[in-house]
Structure 1
Amino acid sequence: MAMTRKGADAFLFGVMLLLCALWGLQQVAIKVAAADIAPLLQVALRSGIAAVLVGLLMTLRGGWQGLRQGTWRPGLLAGALFALEFLFIAVGLHYTSASHMSVFLYTAPIFSALGLHLRLPSERLGRLQWGGIGLCFLGIALAFGGDLSWSALDGRMLFGDALGLCAGMAWGATTVVVRSSSLSEASPSLTLFYQLFVAFILLLAFALCSGQLQPLRLTPVSLGSVLFQGVLVSFVSYFTWFWLLRRYLASNMAVFSFMTPLFGVTFGVLILAEPLSLNFVLGAGLVLLGITLVSGHAWLARCFGAGTPA
């Protein structure tokens, strides 16, 4: 018998608030520890630590049966896209701020919605969602534009912002692969293991081949950043998300998850003293509004009594 999923309540809001704060802090943690441990090495190690923890949990629960269900091909592809996402994040943070990275990374729902629209008939976009996509891309253009004077544009930051957008694309593509392949029937833990394990191998290999293992100093900051990302973010928070998905409506959770870029921007300003231009703030607001319309259209329809747009 299928489990009935609940609507939003105070417990969901509280847990999502905590999860979004953790996710928003992740880019800031990478940036803070960059002087002691290379960002690329950080994201490789976080994936490796979390992969070991997920693998141990699956062993205790007997969760390896999915390997015999033809999931390894899409699993490897999802893992490669997951690695690409964090490669873009690690490199992009050399050039742009954690605040900018948080906003551009969370354009992922836009790209996953576009991909699923093309791949699955059941995921066709309605008018409200297309409007949200238009708002999102308008916001991206505004956020990229700085003060709209070409002579004043910061080329390094623009490059980093572009990599953040590429990371969002890779994340969106990962969602499309998971939803449109045999992974859609696999356990969340197996899907997560594929992503973490493959990402660890590919990112570590890339770091070795490109000579991006330095700096590497074992300090409280570097160890704290890697453990925070590997244990709290990539293991505890992801499994908490999956646990919530089994009990609450996904549309409600999707809307709450858009608090993450707000936390990312706030932590970037408070911890790293990152500056914010007016155009970036306005652009980020349009991006978040667009994502809300795309991913939260079902929730909005219930709230305002509107029918599902054709």
Structure 2
Amino acid sequence: MSIRQPLDLFAFGCMLVFCLVMASQQVVLKAVADDIAPVFQIALRYGIAILLLGLLIRTKRTQMTLTPKNRLPALWIGVLFTLEFLFLGEALTYTSAGHATVFLYTSPIFAAIGLHIKIPNERMSTLQWFGIGLAFCGMVLAFMGGDTSEFGARVLLGDLLALLAGAAWGTTTVVVRATGLALLPAKQILLYQLLVAFVALVVWSLWREQTAINFTPEVIGSLAFHGIGVAFLAFLLWFWLLTRYKASQLGILSFMTPIFGVLLGSWWLNEQIELNFVIGAGFILVGVLLVCRRPASGRRVAVA
């Protein structure tokens, strides 16, 4: 087993780019939502990523064997991946990109709880439980907008959907860690997720009649950004960094993403940043950092 090295300046720069790209995806999805529905755009980006990843796998002649015991878990991670981005896409219809990004990144909370239940050596420490409590208080504060109008109810629905997206992401981590999927190459796991999500989200978009596209330059640019930049290059960059650097340190740096998401949403989309949301988001991020920083077993909870 190769020894992962601590972060250097190059790794920090890569993580900075990665977090900016991942934070931008919600903002870009929302920016062109009038011309293409977010869920359908997510489906199309996975179609693009499948083609590119398939070419990469074929070029490198990577073995894609799947044992019978891993077939059901592979289907499950595909379903969970689909639910994650279905909830996220629908959330962006109701709430801001900044809200969606913060609630999506509650995923390690759900992963930690699931791993605590499923894997004996992943039991959480007192500090981790304190982090979960802190994050829960932050969620309550972030949800308490005080707006009882129809608009306020729509935002609350969107926030809840984004939180469900985070839960689906965290549950995916549990399934991978608790089954034989943990031994498979990252590209293989990603391909299973992309295939199931592409088919399911296209079907959903057809059923909801959300497949209309107004091919503006912004929409074409968004599709290229999401299909090539996010679903292909950014994911591969993340997996490559995990093979060379310590996952715990990369995980901590990944929490630049929700911060960037809030700032980009405010700057690009003129989204209002409420005081209660800022305080609540701060509690959530600190709580998640505590959960990821010191697991009782000495291992870190996977963030992405």
Q: TM bucket by the smaller chain? A: over 0.9
Distance in structure 1 (CA, Å) of the matches to 2:91 and 2:249: 31
Structure 2 partner of 1:8: 7
Q: Give the secondary-structure state (helix, strand or coil) at the position aligned to 1:137.
A: helix
- Give, in whole Å, the separation in 2 of the partners of 1:296 and 1:239: 24
CA contact (8 A) 1:142 1:279 kept: yes
Q: Following TM superposition, by how much is the alpha carbon of 1:64 offset from its aligned partner in structure 2, in angstroms?
A: 3.4
What is the SS of the residue equivalent to 2:65?
helix
Aligned twin of 1:203: 201
Q: Is the 1:41–1:213 Cα contact (8 Å) retained in structure 2?
A: yes
Q: Look up the match of 1:155.
A: 153
Check conservation: 1:100, 1:161, Cα contact below 8 A: yes
Deviations 1:263-290 (A, max 9, x none): 1001100000000110000000000000
Asked whether 1:225 is paired with 2:225, we answer: no
Q: 1:249 to 1:12 in 2, by over 3 A?
A: same
> Shift of residue 152 of structure 1?
9.7
Q: Which moved more, 1:18-27 or 1:115-124?
A: 115-124
Q: Structure 2 counterpart of 1:110, which letter?
A: I
Q: Distance in 2 between matches of 1:257 and 1:136?
A: 17
Residue 192 to residue 152, structure 1, CA distance change in 2 (3 Å):
closer
Residue 291 of structure 2 is matched in structure 1 by 294
* Structure 1 position 150, deviation (Å): 5.6
User: 1:71 touches 1:186 (CA, 8 Å); kept in 2?
Assistant: no
Matched, 1:260 2:257: yes
Aligned partner of 2:301 in structure 1 is: none
Q: What is the deviation of 1:153?
A: 8.2
Q: CA deviation at 1:67?
A: 2.6
Q: Output the amino acid matched with 1:45.
A: L
Partner of 1:57: 56
Aligned letter for 2:54?
A: G
Matched, 1:250 2:251: no
Q: 1:38 & 1:119 partners in 2: Cα distance?
A: 37
Aligned residue number for residue 186 of structure 1: 184
Show the counterpart of 1:127. Answer: 126
Residue aligned with 2:210, SS:
coil
Secondary structure of 1:208's aligned partner: helix
Measure, in 2, the Cα distance between the counterparts of 1:236 and 1:150: 42
Question: How large is the RMSD of aligned CA atoms in angstroms?
Answer: 1.6
Partner of 1:170: 168
What is the CA–CA distance in structure 2 between the aligned matches of 1:46 and 1:72, rounded to whole Å?
25
Measured in 2, the distance between the counterparts of 1:83 and 1:172 equals 13
Provide, for residues 165-208 of structure 1, a one-character-per-residue CA deviation record: whole Å limited to 9, x for no partner.
Answer: 00000111111111111211111000000001110000001111
Looking at structure 2, the residues matched to 223 and 162 of structure 1 have their Cα atoms a distance apart, in angstroms, of 30
* 1:247 Cα offset (Å): 1.1
CA deviation profile, 1:207-251 (whole Å, cap 9, x unmatched): 11221113x111111111111111111111111111111111111
Asked if 2 retains the 8 angstrom alpha-carbon contact of 1:142 and 1:282, the reply is yes
Letter in 2 for 1:87: L
Range moving further from structure 2, 120-129 or 152-161: 152-161
Q: Provide the aligned length of Structure 1 versus Structure 2.
A: 296
Deviations 1:8-48 (A, max 9, x none): 22222111111000000000010011111111110100111
Once the two structures are overlaid, the 10-residue window that deviates more, 68-77 or 115-124, is: 68-77
Aligned to 1:307: none
Cα distance in structure 2, aligned partners of 1:213 and 1:153: 25
Give the aligned partner of residue 308 of structure 1: none
Indicate yes or no: 2:92 matched with 1:93.
yes
Instruction: Provide the residue aligned with 1:144 in structure 2.
Output: 143
CA, structure 1 residues 152+67, in 2 after alignment: closer, same or farther (shift >3 Å)? closer
TM-score between the two structures when normalised by the length of structure 2: 0.94
* Cα distance in 2 for residues equivalent to 1:69 and 1:248: 32
Partner of 2:275: 278
* Contact 2:64/2:188 (8 A) holds in 1: no
- Change beyond 3 A, Cα 1:121–1:60: same
Percent identity of paired positions between Structure 1 and Structure 2 = 48
Structure 2 gaps, min length 5: 299-304
Q: Matches of 2:47 and 2:223 in 1, distance apart?
A: 10
Asked if 2 retains the 8 angstrom alpha-carbon contact of 1:79 and 1:199, the reply is yes
Residues 80, 169 of structure 2: 8 Å contact kept: yes
Residue 115 (str. 1) matches residue 108 (str. 2):
no
